[in-house]
Amino acid sequence: MKKVLPLIIGLLILFSCENSIKVENPIKKFQNSLIQEGVTGSNVAQVFKDGEIIYNTIVNSGALGDKNIDENTIFPIWSMTKTVTTVAMMILLDEGKYNLNDNVADYLPEFENINCKGVDGVYPCNNDLKIIHLLTHRSGYTYYANSGANWVSTLHTDLHPAITSPIRFNNLSDYTKAVSEIPLDFEPGSMYTYGINQAILGRLIEVITEKSFYAYLKETVFDKLGMNDTKFHLTAADRIRFQPLRVNIKPNTAFNNSDFHLEGYTSALDGYTYDENNKAHFGGEGLVSTMSDFSKFCQMLVNGGVYQNERIISEEGIKAMTSKYTNAYPDPSEPNVFPLEGYGYGFTFSVLEDNEAWGSGAPNGIYGWSGYHNTWFWIDPTNNLYALFMSNSIEPDFSILKDFQIATYNFIK
């Protein structure tokens, strides 16, 4: 019996291992489900923990019109651009180039005499517009569209003046002057509304640094992190690597208040020209990047602002941009926040403060953001972890964040 017992134990261990191998990785299962449900086409996910990549997997759809992803695939990152702009602003704050409570008009005089909307019409704002209002999306500027404009409206030329359109504008100076003529939806600082704030901050950076916005980002962030494919334009060679757009426009949703429906793959609906000669580099949505590039940005944040022994942003800067300036959903006094229960808001970044309400298995203190075409990332200081998901697809699906987190924290267990 003594000789048989080790054999039985060994067989049990082998049987257990074989069964565990058959269980699909929860992150890969999540990626496959997005393709099967038509939410995205080909996609890629990466998880980094304790100084090394522990998961990095591409799942290709194989669908007609889609393209297989590889390490050089370029994605539009849309609103994840805001996080780069925010880091650039923190670098300038570290250098003492401005104060958070400075008036925007001190740098951009066109914002000196701004107006607000009220119940009795438009009136001169009582509050000054401050830099911190732009950083926190509490300025009163939102996103705009013409009545009847549809989801490809950014390609039109007859748009509301605040639309971040490289067709309408070819530089940021003209853009901010046009924006300054628009009445704010509310008094600066009084509530949260997601909007064009980082596009204005791009021009502010130009004035502070006396450089183009892109030149400053390249010098202080992209070159130092080796983010060579992160930029506001696409060359002919880049176009070959640009991921086609998976379109799944559903009728009567928050993003499409009509019966219109469209589904398929296309390379013709970028939303931006990505013209190298256009200098309207919008800090809220204009960048393209790769998984390899943006993972370096995430690694810098996980490392407390340091990348390969070089400090990019101070720990104080990270603390400032991830502190809470807007209460978490749901809050009746903040009717415009995103429906991410348990998340408060810092400088662009959403920050988890009630992980029980959110229920993904992530700890409090994680922070991150997303892009309109379903790119997502978060930084987890507690577990020394970041997770990054990239696709090129619409409509935006907010369930991706929670599902990716559930899969990730099940995986690391």
Cβ atoms within 10 Å of 16's Cβ, excluding its own: 10
pLDDT at 185: 95
Can you tell me the distance from the alpha carbon of 169 to that of 117, in angstroms, rounded to the nearest whole number?
25
Domain of residue 146 covers 26-412
List, for residues 263-276, the tens digit of each pLDDT value: 899 988 788 889 99
pLDDT at 22: 56
User: Is residue 6 assigned to a domain?
Assistant: no
pLDDT at 19: 46
pLDDT at 229: 98
pLDDT at 251: 77
Reported as a pLDDT band with limits 50, 70 and 90, residue 152 is very low
pLDDT at 258: 74
pLDDT at 10: 53
pLDDT winner (highest mean) among 315-319, 327-331, 392-396: 315-319
User: Is residue 12 assigned to a domain?
Assistant: no
Mean pLDDT value of segment 114-120: 95
Strand order in the sheet with 393-394: 262-266, 245-249, 393-394
Note whether 330 and 343 are within 8 A (CB): no
Note whether 188 and 130 are within 8 A (CB): yes
List, for residues 24-75, the tens digit of each pLDDT value: 899 999 999 999 999 999 999 999 999 999 999 999 999 999 999 999 999 9
User: Is residue 4 assigned to a domain?
Assistant: no
User: Is residue 380 assigned to a domain?
Assistant: yes
Spell 345-360 as b/e; 16+ CB within 10 A means b: bbbbbbbbbebeebeb
pLDDT at 18: 44
With pLDDT > 70 as the criterion, what percentage of the chain qualifies? 90
Mean pLDDT value of segment 74-84: 98
CATH code for the domain of 140? 3.40.710.10
Can you tell me the distance from the alpha carbon of 118 to that of 309, in angstroms, rounded to the nearest whole number?
51
Average pLDDT for the chain: 91
Instruction: Quote the longest CA-to-CA distance of the chain.
Output: 92
Helix (H) or strand (E) holding 30: helix 26-36
Mean pLDDT value of segment 363-371: 98
Reported as a pLDDT band with limits 50, 70 and 90, residue 159 is low
Residue type, 135: L
List, for residues 202-241, the tens digit of each pLDDT value: 999 999 999 999 999 999 999 999 999 999 999 999 999 9
Q: Which residues contact 189 (CB under 8 A, 6 or more apart)?
A: 127, 130, 132, 133, 138
User: Is residue 399 assigned to a domain?
Assistant: yes
User: Is residue 5 assigned to a domain?
Assistant: no
Number of structural domains, the chain? 1
Cβ atoms within 10 Å of 13's Cβ, excluding its own: 10
The tokens for 17 are 């291992």
Whether residue 76 is preceded by a cis peptide bond, meaning omega within 30 degrees of 0, is no
User: Is residue 11 assigned to a domain?
Assistant: no
User: Is residue 318 assigned to a domain?
Assistant: yes
